[in-house]
Amino acid sequence: DSGVTQTPKHLITATGQRVTLRCSPRSGDLSVYWYQQSLDQGLQFLIHYYNGEERAKGNILERFSAQQFPDLHSELNLSSLELGDSALYFCASSVAGTGHYTFGSGTRLTVV
Amino acid sequence: KNQVEQSPQSLIILEGKNCTLQCNYTVSPFSNLRWYKQDTGRGPVSLTIMTFSENTKSNGRYTATLDADTKQSSLHITASQLSDSASYICVVILTGGGNKLTFGTGTQLKVEL
């Protein structure tokens, strides 16, 4: 157990639907990063939150959004889902300034 | 073109044998370079972390090397075990703020009996 908890582990949904992925960072970590890993692709950075504030955005689609709550857990919202959104979604947390990133086990999203 | 390229894309070796995985990167300026191991369906786990001034770093049977001049890194695995079967990902950490991690697409290693 890495200390980063992601739920659900698996999610199957239909095109056009909306889903929410959840991430609880490791205790004490203020930063949460979201990544998308499509089949045979490297992890692609989506968005970074630090202590509730958005810090950086990557190639995140407008259909996707995220937030980090006061208790530091984060949610990634994916809407108007398309078949191409099927992927593994990982979150990672880190303590500011240490450069140590801890990844969760991911949520496997399948859009049918 | 990916800024972090890894080779080979996949590799099959016999248990007990050694292997070397390659990583070439173009991103800069970078703070450090890491190798991660990712088991199927799991999140990446850090194996080694090297700053730009380090040439080599070991972690058990894993030894990473870095040549900052040629922007190349390698991960050498000795006496491979079945449990080494996984994807090995080279990650370059950039200096500055924002997203610092640039991932390679990984080398898929399979260790067979």
Instruction: Name the minimum distance, in Å, from the CA of A16 to any CA of chain B.
Output: 25
Q: How confident is the model at residue B2 (pLDDT cuts 50, 70, 90)?
A: low
The predicted structure's pLDDT at residue A100 = 78
Q: Hey, how many other C-beta atoms are within 10 angstroms of the C-beta on A103? A: 22
Tens-digit pLDDT profile for residues A42-81: 889 999 999 999 998 888 999 999 999 999 999 999 999 9
Strands (E), chain B: 4-7, 10-14, 19-25, 30-38, 45-51, 56-59, 62-67, 72-77, 86-94, 101-103, 107-112
Which residue(s) pair with B12 in the sheet?
A: B110
pLDDT class of B1 with cuts at 50, 70, 90? low
pLDDT at B99 over 70: no
- Quote the CA–CA distance of B33 and B39 in Å, as a whole number: 20
**What's residue B86's pLDDT?**
96
Locus of tokens 């922007």: B71
What local confidence, expressed as pLDDT, does residue A97 receive? 62
pLDDT of A12 higher than 80: yes
Residues of chain A with Cβ-Cβ distance to B93 below 8 Å are 99
Terminal alpha carbon distance of chain B: 36
- Residue among B49, B48, B51, B47 at smallest CA distance from B29: B51
Answer yes or no: do A42 and B104 touch at CB < 8 A.
Answer: yes
Chain A contact present for B29, CB below 8 A: no
Convert the pLDDT of each residue in B61-92 to its tens digit.
999 999 988 999 999 999 999 999 999 999 99
Would the pLDDT of B97 be above 90? no
Q: How far is B43 from chain A (nearest CA, A)?
A: 4
Out of B2, B46, B98, name the one closest to residue A56 (CB).
B98
B43/A105 Cβ within 8 A? yes
State the residue for tokens 């639907």.
Answer: A17
Of the residues B99, B105, B107, B108, the best mutation for testing chain A's interface (the one with the most A CB atoms within 10 Å of its CB) is B99
For the segment B13-69, what is each residue's pLDDT rounded down to a tens digit?
A: 999 999 999 999 997 777 789 999 999 888 999 999 898 889 999 999 999 999 988
Query: Which residues have a Cβ under 8 Å from the Cβ of A53 and sit 6 or more positions away?
Result: A68
Tell me what pLDDT residue B90 has: 95
Does the pLDDT of residue A21 top 60, yes or no? yes
**Cα–Cα distance between B18 and B73 in angstroms, integer?**
17
Q: CB–CB of A56 and B99 under 8 A?
A: yes
Q: Give dist(CA B8, CA B74) in Å, integer.
A: 11
CA-to-CA distance for B97 and A93, rounded, in angstroms? 15
* CB-based contact A2 B45, cutoff 8 Å: yes
What's the token pair of residue A73? 């857990």
Percent of chain A with pLDDT over 90: 79
Pairing of strands A107-111, A10-13: parallel
- As a whole number of angstroms, the distance between CA B32 and CA A80 comes to 38
CB atoms within 10 A of CB A18: 11
Distance from CA of B14 to the nearest CA of A (A): 23
* Out of B43, B46, B98, closest to residue A106 by CB: B43
pLDDT at B98 over 70: no
Residue A109: CB atoms within 10 Å:
21
pLDDT value for B31: 79
Question: What does the alpha-carbon distance between residue B39 and residue B85 come to, in Å, rounded to a whole number?
Answer: 8
B103, B27 Cβ separation under 8 angstroms: no
In this structure, the strands spanning B45-51 and B19-25 are unpaired
Residues of B in contact with A43 (CB under 8 A): 44, 89, 101, 103
Task: Say whether A99 and B46 touch across the interface (CB within 8 A).
Answer: no
